[in-house]
Structure 1
Amino acid sequence: MIKKEEVKVEVEDGRVLQISDERNREQEDKNDKWHRVEMSSDKFIRRFRLPENAKIDQVRAAMENRVLTMSLPKEEEKKPEVKAIEISG
């Protein structure tokens, strides 16, 4: 099970959102005749290129019930101004 403390959310190179998780586990069994140690490692990385109008400093992440929710506000796109022109003649 992934814990929110194990998940990293970072913005790198200005416009790349990286979500990663790395877990190392160790399981040990022993008795009078033997001793066994099993180690495993899991790694997860996903990268997404963010749009040009993303507000990088306002990226937010929340994790609840193993669901990661991202909030990425964007600046409003400036719409071209339409100006009426009189037609003479």
Structure 2
Amino acid sequence: MALINYTRPNLDVQNKRFSDILDEFFNDSLKYRNDSFTPSVDISETEENFEVSVALPGMNKDDIQVDLENGRLTISGERKFENEDKGKNYHRVESGFGTFSRSFHLPDTVDESSISAKYENGVLNITIAKNEEKVKRQIEVS
């Protein structure tokens, strides 16, 4: 999982790399496909843990899958559009529906056996503990 300092999107175009601008362009164009959506993800770090929060409103926890393979954390699932009201005509649907998959490379300093996930109030919270033995330490030169 590569951690990057947070900057507000679309506000500082001069300091963006060209590849970041292209990523935003293509990600925004794919956002409006009918068969998939991209949930918002927040990644933070404390002294002991990495914390990943994924916004998945209206989903059941049984429709969410969290996998770890070769140091890559993958969150995937499907959010279904359930049109149960036959007499209802929708004029606008802005909620994202369909399949999704988000993957993140974890740093070598995590304890992969400590990963826990909890889904509550439409937010999936994943906690990954750091392995103190693997954290780099500064060695004083004498």
Using the size of structure 1 for normalisation, the TM-score is: 0.66
Decide which structure has greater helix share: 2
CA distance in 2 between partners of 1:8 and 1:68 (Å): 11
Counterpart CA distance in 1 for 2:71 and 2:118 is 20
TM-superposed deviation, 1:27: 6.1
Alignment match of 2:123 (pick from 55, 67, 77):
67
Q: 2:108 aligns with which of 52, 64, 88?
A: 52
Which is strand-richer, 1 or 2?
A: 1
Aligned residues: 72
CA distance in 2, matches of 1:7, 1:74: 24
Using the aligned pairs only, state the percent identity: 32
2:72 equivalent to 1:16: yes
Cα root mean square deviation, aligned: 2.3
Question: Structure with the greater relative contact order (CA < 8 A, sep ≥ 6): 1 or 2?
Answer: 2
Q: Which runs of 5+ in 2 are unaligned?
A: 1-57, 87-96
Distance 1:82 1:26, change over 3 A: closer
Measure how far apart 1:83 and its partner are: 6.1
Gaps of 5+ in 1: 30-40, 85-89
- SS of residue matched to 2:129: coil
Alpha-carbon distance between aligned partners in 2 of 1:66 and 1:27, rounded to the nearest angstrom: 20
